[in-house]
């Protein structure tokens, strides 16, 4: 039986103060069981990164969790001190950041960089560090770990550096990996390798993955459960099979419709905004970013998430104006 590893409840995140308060994330709830890959998908600015950063208490200085809770392994993250969080980051939860390649130290051999977490979190003796680093390099697909150990970042390709980052992220055997669009800057073949390495680790250690992405193709392949974010809110969630077979929210339909398929050869690819509320079973509304912007909250008053079938939740608009098909 898998157990609950991460549980976020009614989380609200805001930036700024006074009249300039901006609610980046509104009333987010999500959970991840051990051994599960959960995808948080949505367009740029929908609040995915802010949500994941809050799990590590790494929000920018002008941002804060206003209310809600984040429970990790039965510990309340929002109540933790910075010292307590330092024991969790890179140890129990690792994050692979969007632009992490730049965070590699150019003046340090990559093999030594891989051992930093082990020294800090596990107090591993110096004599054992090299052997563990070589084993980690092997786990992330290097066939010549002893050679790679002595390289500096500038001597490696982008894909190789990404593998070094994964070796760092898994070195302390975290229970949760947060992968924030780890593949944006990489070509498609390398993207696959990176995602496969994360998936391999997950299976090997029965770990969990929170995958932040805007690509439903990636979700289809790697995720067990999906949360779709739009305008700082979860608008639909469910297991990956259900979401693909019966998407209800127009935004979800739009994202799925954007996946290129072999059958649609020659057709123009649809944009998410080609989908209307009408198509999705909502009457009288055209789906456009401005009609669901956070500024027009009052006009659209998104209601709470409704369970439309077991385990499948959708956020509906003003229910009196909405007709659901089926």
Ligand X SMILES: Nc1ncnc2c1ncn2[C@@H]1O[C@H](COP(=O)(O)OP(=O)(O)OP(=O)(O)O)[C@@H](O)[C@H]1O
For residue 106, the minimal CB distance to ligand X (Å) is 25
For residue 210, the minimal CB distance to ligand X (Å) is 12
- E strand or H helix at 253, and its extent? helix 250-257
> Number of residues in contact with ligand X, rule: CB under 6 A?
15
For residue 181, the minimal CB distance to ligand X (Å) is 6
Q: Cβ closer to ligand X: 25 or 156?
A: 25
DSSP string, 23-64: EEEEEEEEEEETT-EEEEE--TTSSHHHHHHHHTT---TTEE
Tell me which residues in 24-83 interact with ligand X (CB under 6 A).
Answer: 24, 42, 44-50, 60, 62-63
For residue 105, the minimal CB distance to ligand X (Å) is 24
Q: Cβ closer to ligand X: 49 or 252?
A: 49
Tell me which residues in 211-230 interact with ligand X (CB under 6 A).
Answer: 214
Q: Cβ closer to ligand X: 139 or 252?
A: 252
Pairing relation of β-strands 312-315 and 176-180? unpaired
CA 126 to chain centre: 34
Distance in angstroms (rounded) separating the CA atoms of residues 89 and 87: 6
For residue 256, the minimal CB distance to ligand X (Å) is 18
Distance in angstroms (rounded) separating the CA atoms of residues 290 and 308: 26
Q: Report how far apart the first and last C-alpha atoms of the chain are (Å, whole number).
A: 34
Beta-carbon neighbour count of residue 215 at 10 Å? 18
For residue 218, the minimal CB distance to ligand X (Å) is 13
Residue 210 found at the interface with ligand X (CB under 6 A): no
The residue assigned the tokens 């459960």 is: 225
Q: Cβ closer to ligand X: 145 or 232?
A: 232
Q: Cβ closer to ligand X: 14 or 308?
A: 14
For residue 271, the minimal CB distance to ligand X (Å) is 17
Tell me which residues in 256-285 interact with ligand X (CB under 6 A).
Answer: none
Q: Cβ closer to ligand X: 62 or 264?
A: 62
Cβ proximity of 270 and 257 under 8 Å: yes
Per-residue tokens: 24: 């980046």
Distance in angstroms (rounded) separating the CA atoms of residues 90 and 119: 12
Q: Cβ closer to ligand X: 41 or 207?
A: 41
Residues of the shown chain interacting with ligand X in the complex, contacts defined by CB under 6 A: 15, 22, 24, 42, 44-50, 60, 62-63, 214
């Amino acid at each position: 039986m898998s157990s609950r590893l991460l549980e976020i409840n009614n989380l609200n995140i805001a930036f700024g103060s006074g009249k300039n308060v901006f609610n980046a994330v509104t009333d987010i709830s999500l959970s991840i069981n051990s051994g599960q890959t959960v995808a948080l998908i949505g367009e740029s600015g929908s609040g995915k990164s802010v949500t994941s950063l809050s799990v590590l208490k790494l929000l920018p200085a002008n941002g804060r969790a206003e209310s809600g809770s984040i429970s990790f392994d039965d510990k309340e993250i929002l109540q933790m001190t910075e010292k307590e969080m330092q024991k969790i980051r890179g140890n129990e939860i690792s994050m692979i950041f969007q632009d992490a390649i730049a965070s590699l130290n150019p003046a340090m051999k990559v093999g030594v960089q891989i051992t930093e977490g082990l020294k800090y979190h596990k107090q591993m003796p110096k004599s054992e560090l090299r052997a563990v680093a070589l084993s980690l390099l092997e786990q992330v697909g290097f066939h010549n770990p002893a050679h790679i150990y002595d390289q500096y970042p500038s001597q490696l390709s982008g894909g190789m550096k990404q593998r070094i980052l994964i070796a760092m992220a898994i070195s302390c055997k975290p229970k949760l990996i947060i992968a924030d669009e780890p593949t944006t800057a990489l070509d498609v073949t390398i993207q696959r390798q990176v995602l496969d390495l994360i998936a391999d680790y997950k299976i090997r250690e029965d770990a969990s993955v929170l995958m932040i992405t805007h690509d439903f193709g990636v979700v289809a392949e790697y995720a067990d459960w999906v949360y779709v974010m739009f305008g700082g809110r979860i608008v639909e969630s469910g297991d990956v099979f259900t979401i693909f077979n019966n998407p209800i929210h127009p935004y979800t339909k739009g994202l799925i419709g954007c996946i290129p398929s072999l059958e649609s050869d020659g057709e123009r690819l649809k944009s998410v905004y080609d989908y209307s509320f009408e198509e999705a079973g909502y009457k009288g509304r055209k789906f456009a970013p401005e009609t669901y912007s956070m500024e027009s909250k009052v006009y659209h008053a998104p209601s709470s998430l409704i369970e439309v079938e077991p385990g499948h939740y959708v956020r509906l608009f003003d229910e009196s104006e909405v007709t659901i098909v089926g």
